[in-house]
């Protein structure tokens, strides 16, 4: 096989049927895949419509049947509970097949939906694979979500069964899952037949005898079940992502295209082979957890790592390095936010020096745009490739990346490198005109999206079209703004909503964040556009300082204003900056810029269900008032 990116990429764009037909040969099919891409119902493209397979078979049974049963499949490490467990492929297959048998005994059939509301424990992975094994459609809801958010997902997915646990564990508290689940079911119009509850040792939940089933009891005396062969287009899962209308969007992923894309990506993007340890430091409730904790590593035959902990505080900024050394991790995939937290607490990398990282060869970052300062810090401290790559819940895997398994390119800070094979990425202006290299606009992807991307929204084809496909017919609107340079490097500057108009000048808040983050005292920052009577919008910055910085805050704030003026120019009209202790984020690490923008403009806003700590909003409100926002409340 050639290792020339340009040649491989061009084949994927010019002849996608041949390209993905070849990739699909790496999957075990129960029925030949037949037609590769079905375009008979545009814009709803389908992949491998005639094929039949089972994702769980490809992820577990295949490896056991090919003499890899004794290899480690799953490592569980929980510094929060001081627990470590390992499962070989044979052991994990046994657990999943018996759990699938328990689901069948509870009358779950192919096509039924199951909501999984669990913490980061091995049983969550088993539950997902057990659903896939029998053709049930799982919908994982992030553990600890508020009851009303869980209730909306119950009403939309209409699950026959909910799988949950007695509790989740944070560093200093227990999250009582069972009461949250009970309240959600009470609020929901749809009532699931049963709840299957895994009792953690840290807290035993009271069970409702009419609805609840104890996990251990359910697995007693049940027979293992074989895989159910399903159509390639049969939904594997629904993953809800927040919608602007308040109604969450249920992203639908299929079995066939997903399996092909996941397995292809492990080698071609991450350069990970069977038998190697791959760690995605995310949560199974997010798309990264679906794709790269559970499915892709197991489809490839790698060892995946499930970590119930934090990058700092469990117990210190060396947490990640301890895990990498202990389990000989080859590749780590995490969010830039995690590295900002590590950098803040250990700016000189003293904890890194305590561990043997000789097996560690690449760090991948995604989930939020990686600022150049964080990227360079990681490069300097680790002395290995640090790869920023870009993708979305909707795509399920990388749109742009430095594909280490094909051809490694020089890193350009601020860019996730080039489009991944299969993605025809372009930049349009508001009229639909394709922009030349270097000009910023709306980033779009020509249809069809490659295998593994969303097929539609659950029970809402019209919303799928209106939200993603109607702005530029024939193209998927990513919602991100940026540009492509002369060498094909893609730059994601901000969400389309975060491109601000200052007195007629369109400016990227992402670029301003880059500049602020380059200041040696800044650990993390965010820039939002706020309303201004004269200029329309002006930028407002919030910055967190690195640990140990003792200089006066007002002195640093003046320097930050000056550096924006120097690097971007007076046109930015950057005069509003406040040092804060924390920034509001989702549990997956995304900064809640939209919420802060509403706060600054004095608009009503809902506290997002995904927020890590709602108390941070009170701190941000105090900081905003200190610099005169919202104006109508501060004048």
Domain range summary for the chain, segments of one domain joined by +: 5-309+389-482, 503-634
3-state secondary structure of 185: helix
Lowest mean pLDDT, pick from 68-77, 251-260, 380-389, 531-540: 531-540
What is the model's pLDDT at position 186? 96
What is the percent of the chain where pLDDT is above 70? 97
For the record, the structure tokens of 141 come out as 């809801």
Lowest mean pLDDT, pick from 4-18, 145-159, 293-307: 145-159
Cα-to-chain-centroid distance, residue 631: 36
Average pLDDT over the chain, rounded to whole?
Answer: 92
CA–CA dist 400, 122 (Å, integer): 30
Torsion region of 162: left, alpha or beta (phi above 0 gives left; psi -120 to 50 gives alpha): beta
What is the model's pLDDT at position 245? 43
Q: Using CB atoms within 10 A of its CB, is residue 500 exposed (0-12), middle (13-18) or buried (19+)?
A: buried
What is the model's pLDDT at position 612? 77
- Dihedral through CA 286, CA 292, CA 295, CA 297, nearest 10? -160
Res 371 pLDDT > 90: no
Which residue bears the tokens 């639908």? 252
Name the DSSP class of 436.
Answer: P
Q: Say how many Å lie between the first and final Cα of the chain, rounded.
A: 67
Res 246 pLDDT > 60: no
CA–CA dist 406, 271 (Å, integer): 8
CA–CA dist 147, 163 (Å, integer): 15
Name the DSSP class of 94.
Answer: H
CB burial readout 65-91, b (16+ within 10 A) else e: eeebbebbbbbbbbbbeebeeebbbbb
Sign of CA dihedral 247, 253, 254, 257: positive
257-298 pLDDT, tens digit per residue, is 999 999 999 999 999 999 999 999 999 998 999 999 999 999
pLDDT tier for residue 148 given thresholds of 50, 70 and 90: confident
Res 506 pLDDT > 70: no
413-442 pLDDT, tens digit per residue, is 889 999 999 999 999 998 999 999 999 899
Name the DSSP class of 293.
Answer: I
Of 446, 413, 415, 416, whose CA–CA distance to 428 is shortest? 446
CA–CA dist 589, 336 (Å, integer): 8
pLDDT tier for residue 608 given thresholds of 50, 70 and 90: confident
What is the model's pLDDT at position 635? 42
472-497 pLDDT, tens digit per residue, is 999 999 989 899 999 999 999 877 76
Name the DSSP class of 324.
Answer: H
- CATH for 503-634? 3.30.300.30
Lowest mean pLDDT, pick from 124-128, 432-436, 446-450, 524-528: 524-528
* Total residues belonging to the chain: 635
Is residue 173 within 8 Å of residue 145, measured between CB atoms? no
548-606 pLDDT, tens digit per residue, is 899 999 999 999 999 988 888 777 889 999 999 999 987 767 788 888 988 988 888 88
Lowest mean pLDDT, pick from 94-103, 425-434, 485-494, 530-539: 530-539
Res 503 pLDDT > 90: no
CATH classification for the domain delimited by 5-309+389-482, as one of 3.40.50.12780, 3.30.830.10, 3.10.20.30, 3.40.50.300: 3.40.50.12780
Is residue 53 within 8 Å of residue 232, measured between CB atoms? yes
What is the model's pLDDT at position 573? 84
Is residue 156 within 8 Å of residue 186, measured between CB atoms? no
322-348 pLDDT, tens digit per residue, is 999 999 999 999 988 889 889 989 999
């Amino acid at each position: 096989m050639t290792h020339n990116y340009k040649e491989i990429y061009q084949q994927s764009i010019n002849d996608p049927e041949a390209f993905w037909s070849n990739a699909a040969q790496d999957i075990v099919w129960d029925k030949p895949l037949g037609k590769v891409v079905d375009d008979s119902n545009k814009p709803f493209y389908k992949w491998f419509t005639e094929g039949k397979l089972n994702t769980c078979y490809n992820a577990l049974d295949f490896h056991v049947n090919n003499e890899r049963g004794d290899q480690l499949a799953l490592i569980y490490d929980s510094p929060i509970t001081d627990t470590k467990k390992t499962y070989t492929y044979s052991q994990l297959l046994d657990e999943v097949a018996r759990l699938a048998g328990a689901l069948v005994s509870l009358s779950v059939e192919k096509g039924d939906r199951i909501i999984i509301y669990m913490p980061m424990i091995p049983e969550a992975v088993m539950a997902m694979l057990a659903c896939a094994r029998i053709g049930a459609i799982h919908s994982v809801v992030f553990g600890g979500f508020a009851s009303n958010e869980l209730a909306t997902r119950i009403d939309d997915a209409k699950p026959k069964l909910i799988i949950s646990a007695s509790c989740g564990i944070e560093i200093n508290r227990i999250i009582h899952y069972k009461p949250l689940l009970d309240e959600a079911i009470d609020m929901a119009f749809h009532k699931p037949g049963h709840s299957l509850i895994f009792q953690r040792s840290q807290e035993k939940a009271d069970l409702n005898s009419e609805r609840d089933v104890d996990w251990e009891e359910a697995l007693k005396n049940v027979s293992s079940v074989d895989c159910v062969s399903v159509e390639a287009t049969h939904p594997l899962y629904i993953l809800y992502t927040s919608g602007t209308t308040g109604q969450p969007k249920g992203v639908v992923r299929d079995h066939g295209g997903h399996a092909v894309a996941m397995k292809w990506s492990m080698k071609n993007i991450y350069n990970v082979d069977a038998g190697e340890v791959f760690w995605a430091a995310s949560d199974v409730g997010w798309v990264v957890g679906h794709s790269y904790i559970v499915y892709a590593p197991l489809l490839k035959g790698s060892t995946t790592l499930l970590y119930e902990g934090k990058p700092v505080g469990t117990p210190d900024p060396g947490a990640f390095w301890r895990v990498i050394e202990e389990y000989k991790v080859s590749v780590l995939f995490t969010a830039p936010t995690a590295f900002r937290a590590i950098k803040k607490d250990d700016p000189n990398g003293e904890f890194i020096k305590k561990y043997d990282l000789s097996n560690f060869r690449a760090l991948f970052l995604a989930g939020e745009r990686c600022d150049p300062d964080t990227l360079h810090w990681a490069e300097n401290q680790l002395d290995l490739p640090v790869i920023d790559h870009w993708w979305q819940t909707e795509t399920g895997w990388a749109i742009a990346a430095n594909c280490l398994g094909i051809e490694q390119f020089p890193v350009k800070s601020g860019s996730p490198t080039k489009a991944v094979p299969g993605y025809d990425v372009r930049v349009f202006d508001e009229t639909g005109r394709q922009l030349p290299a270097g000009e910023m606009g709306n980033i779009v992807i020509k249809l069809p999206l490659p295998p593994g991307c969303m097929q539609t929204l659950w029970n809402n084809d019209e919303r799928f079209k209106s939200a993603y496909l109607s702005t530029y017919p024939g193209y998927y609107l990513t919602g991100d703004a940026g540009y492509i340079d002369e060498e094909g490097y893609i730059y994601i500057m901000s969400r389309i909503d975060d491109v601000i108009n200052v007195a007629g000048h369109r400016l990227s808040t992402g670029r301003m964040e880059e500049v602020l983050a380059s200041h040696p005292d800044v650990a993390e920052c965010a820039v939002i556009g706020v309303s201004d009577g004269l200029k329309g919008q002006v930028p407002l910055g919030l910055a967190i300082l690195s640990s140990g910085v003792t200089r006066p805050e007002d002195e640093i704030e003046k320097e930050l204003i000056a550096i924006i003026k120097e690097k971007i120019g007076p046109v930015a009209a950057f005069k509003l900056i406040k040092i804060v202790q924390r920034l509001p984020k989702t549990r997956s690490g995304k900064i809640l810029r939209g919420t802060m923008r509403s706060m600054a403009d004095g608009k009503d806003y809902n506290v997002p269900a995904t927020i890590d700590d709602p108390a941070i909003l009170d701190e941000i409100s105090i900081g905003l008032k200190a610099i005169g926002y919202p104006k109508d409340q501060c004048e």
